[in-house]
Amino acid sequence: MAIIIFFVLHWQVSVFFQTFFLHRYGAHRQITMSKGWERFFFICTYLAQGSSFLSPRGYAILHRMHHAYSDTAEDPHSPRNYKNALSMMWATKHRYDDFAYRRVEPDAKFAGGYPEWPLIEKLGQNWFMRLAWCGVYVAFYWHFATALWMWALLPMHFVMGPIHGAIVNWCGHRFGYSNFENGDDSKNTLVFDVLTCGELFQNNHHKFGMSPNFAVRWFEIDPAYQGMRLLALLRIIDMKGAQQMRYPLERKTSFDKSAAEEPAPLVASRAAD
């Protein structure tokens, strides 16, 4: 039971900070927060992801490119361009490394506006520290595992972040239904997306890239957004003025149409102002 609890807890906490901090805050700046809380959630993201820590810079640049070139030849991780999820994510890793380790400078429109903390980034991307985190996971399993099958879960802890990315990028552009015509292959894979904290509402997200809520229809539930509502209630984050999804599109609201059509990569320049 301890192994199952640990695995589920690690999975959910890791994917929450990936979608909340790296994606919705870092890549899109859908919300605002103080510098102090940014540092707090930066550390939380590192602790949650451990050996598979993803740099906010590398993540944001790659994700903005994905929105700008969704399911075209220039998309860094479109299933259209690869035979399987493994080959897609292996190629994505190399593109990510170029930006995360600053080997390559991106197009200016994709740069800036993401949280940066050189100390934590160097710590998180240090291979000695990555192996140390793997050692922590092995020690936990050594102490609590009571059956051989449990050890099959262990390798997933080592690369939890990339696994989440593979599921979202592959399934979210291959399987499910569409609420909107976005000109790409984005799909909503799950209607109750607890597995990836709302990330598998890809079709919704590609239509309303600046909305912190990825769910739009009455039966869709975005768990991460519910957590963010609590953080906003506690005044830890601010979602005032954030883009709101609407379905169907023809419904009359006070919603600013220009905001709905704002390309996600442009968030970088706006956040840097």
What is the C-alpha separation between 222 and 42, in angstroms, rounded?
22
Q: Record the tokens describing residue 151, joined without a space.
A: 């050890």
pLDDT above 60 for 269: no
- pLDDT tens, residue by residue, 236-256: 999 999 999 999 886 544 444
Token readout for 66 is: 């994905």
Positive or negative, the CA dihedral 193, 195, 198, 201 is negative
Q: What is residue 251's predicted lDDT score, i.e. its pLDDT?
A: 54
Cβ burial, residue 82 (10 Å; 0-12/13-18/19+): middle
> pTM of the predicted model, to two decimals?
0.89
State the average pLDDT over residues 36-49. 98
In 107-222, where does DSSP find H-type helix? 118-124, 127-144, 154-158, 160-171, 202-207
Residue 268, pLDDT above cutoff 50: no
- The mean pLDDT of the chain is 92
- Residue 142 pLDDT greater than 80, yes or no: yes
What pLDDT is stored for residue 15 in this prediction? 98
The reported pLDDT for the residue numbered 271 is 39
Angle at 176 between CA 174 and CA 182, to 5 degrees: 75
According to the model, what pLDDT value does residue 255 have? 42
Region 124-140: what's the mean pLDDT?
Answer: 97
Residue 133 pLDDT grade (very low, low, confident, very high; cuts 50, 70, 90): very high
Return the higher-pLDDT residue of 260 and 164. 164
pLDDT at position 204: 97
How do residues 23-34 score in pLDDT, each as one tens digit?
999 999 999 999
pLDDT for 270 beyond 80 = no
C-alpha distances (whole Å) from 165 to each of 138, 169, 237 are 23, 6, 25
Beta bridge partner(s), residue 86: none
Query: Which residues is 33 bridged to in the sheet?
Result: 237
123-128, long-range: CB < 8 A, 24+ apart: 123/46, 124/46, 124/49, 124/53, 124/55, 125/53, 125/55, 125/100, 125/101
What is the structure's pLDDT at 249?
A: 80
Distance CA(70)–CA(263), nearest Å, equals 11
**Burial per residue of 1-24, b for 16 or more beta-carbon CB atoms within 10 angstroms, e otherwise:** eebeebbeebbbbbbbbbbbbbbb
Over range 91-104, report the average pLDDT: 95
Question: Which tokens hold the place of 54?
Answer: 């993803």
- Tell me the pLDDT tens digit for each residue of 152-162: 999 999 999 99
